[in-house]
Structures are given as C-alpha cells and as structure tokens.
Amino acid sequence: MQINSNTSTSPLKKSNAPLPVTCRSSYRPWGLPVLLVLASFCNFNWGCQENTTPGITSLMDSTETYILHEGTLGTRKNVTLADGTSVILNSNSTLLVPGSFPAKHRRVILDGEAFFAVPAADSPFVVKTDKLTATTAGTAFKIRSFITQQGATAYILDGKVKMVKSYHSPTDNQPEDLERGNMILANKEIDLMEKETFVPEEQEAWLKDSLVLQHVPLMATVRKLEEWYNTTITITGDASKVPDISGSFYRFTLQQTLAELGKNYHFTFKEKDGGIVIKF
C-alpha cells in the first residue's frame, strides 16, 4: 500500500509515512434540537490529536496506491477528480484517492470535512470515513467525519445518497436513504446514526464561501470561525469589553478574516500548534 502526495513525485510507503498532525476545535456546536436530548449521554468534546497511520490505513485497500490531497490551516482546497467530481476540501482535512480511480471503481477515503459534487456515471461513487460510508449515483453533499472525533455529520444538497455505518454495529446496520434537506447525525461512541432535516440554504452559504456575521458575540464568533475553517482558536488577554461582531467575508481565508477583524476589534493573532491564538 502506498500514498502519493499530490504535490510530490515520490511515493510514501505505509510503514514510514504517518499522516500529519491536525488539530480540531475543542467544541463543535451541532445546532439542532435533537442534540439537547443527546447531550446528556453523548460526549461532544472533540480532542486535538495526531492522525496516526493506523487510523487512516484501516480504511485503505492494501493493493492500491493512493494520491493524497490535504487542506491546509485556514484555507479550503478545490480538487477535481478524474471522473469530473468537484471536491471542496476544508482546512485540516485529508482525502485519499486510489490510483485506479475511476477505471476500477469510484471510491475515495475522507478524514475531515469535504463537499462533493458528483456527476452521474454507471459505477456508484463512494465516500468512506471511519464512521460513515456514503454511496450515490450522482449528487451534491457535504460530509464531516474525523478519525480523532466520535461524531460525524452529512448534509444532502441535491440528488440521493445511501448512508450506512462504516463499522459493524451490534444493534443497527440498516442504511438510510437521503435526499435534499436530509442530514445524518452520527456518533460512534454511542453507536448512533440518526436521519434528520436541515435548511439547505445554510449549507449553501458555506459552499459559496460567504461568511456573514451580524452582531454576533465574541465567543459565538470564535465558534463560528472554528466551525467554518475547521481549526482551534484560543483567546488571550482581556476581551470583556469587545462589542458584538459584524462583518462580511467572501472567499476569505481564515488569516484574511482574522486580519480584517483584528483591525476593527483591536487584536492580534498568530498560528500555534496547528491552531490560532488571538491576543487582545
């Protein structure tokens, strides 16, 4: 089994090529009423851990060579696959594409968050994570599933998707059939996969990369930025007098967004340990 970086010409062998360290937010708001019920017995404390080789390689085919795509801190990456599938790979996310794609099959592996716009074809398109496996003939959907986190989500914006747990469940292995406006809430720790609904326009704003803040308290702004750019933000100094925050950011990187906010709300920031530290 080999992994080829899409920016490197030399293959990396499984035995000596651990994936890079990527840090996740210490808090992830899911923002749906069902979570009020789940919160009493579900651990939503996402850790900041290392993506070790065994975690991702357990999903890989030992006979394949893979091309590695990675999203860097605060920046989305656009990837076009050989079958015409368009992928928006979020910050701190990893996508593995087999070298045989799509001639042999259309299957990819995701550790992180990505949006897929999949053209219809004779063979199904499959996205596999450690918690969820999505199968479609052609559709548009976003899936978020990190190996270092127990929770996962998927949002269907167009077409139809069949979603199933990637692992064997002792209680329920039945797939869910999803279409526009349907979503999946999953948590491996409690063996949960629930079909819910969402407002597609909220996810479409993310796809347009158009972040709008209107009189949002500081800590809620921080959580929004963490979610939007998939990172960790730490606040230092006295932020007690910071007013509610407003601003519009179209196709801004995290660094550009923070630079603009820093001028208006008087703070500096720096990258540290895979995340961001803001100082007032």
Position 151: which residue type? G
Q: Would you say 172 and 151 are in contact if contact means Cβ atoms under 8 Å apart?
A: no
Do residues 146 and 266 both lie within one domain? no
Residue 42 has pLDDT above 80, yes or no: no
| Domain end residue (candidates: 170, 203, 236) | 203
Do residues 173 and 275 both lie within one domain? no
Residue 239 has pLDDT above 60, yes or no: yes
Do residues 24 and 108 both lie within one domain? yes
Do residues 104 and 152 both lie within one domain? yes
Domain count across the chain: 2
Residue 109 has pLDDT above 90, yes or no: yes
SS3 49: coil
pLDDT tens digits for 156-180? 999 999 999 999 999 999 999 999 9
| Domain end residue (candidates: 143, 176, 203) | 203
Predicted local confidence at residue 13, as pLDDT = 36
Instruction: Give the predicted TM-score (pTM) of the model.
Output: 0.78
CATH of the domain at 222: 3.55.50.30
Q: In sequence order, what are the beta bridge partners of 270?
A: 277
Give the separation between CA 233 and CA 274, rounded to whole angstroms. 10
Do residues 144 and 175 both lie within one domain? yes
Domain that holds residue 236: 209-279
pLDDT tens digits for 76-88? 999 999 999 999 9
* Closest among 98, 85, 109 to 3, alpha carbons compared: 98
CATH of the domain at 6: 2.60.120.1440
When pLDDT is cut at 50, 70 and 90, the band that residue 58 belongs to is: confident
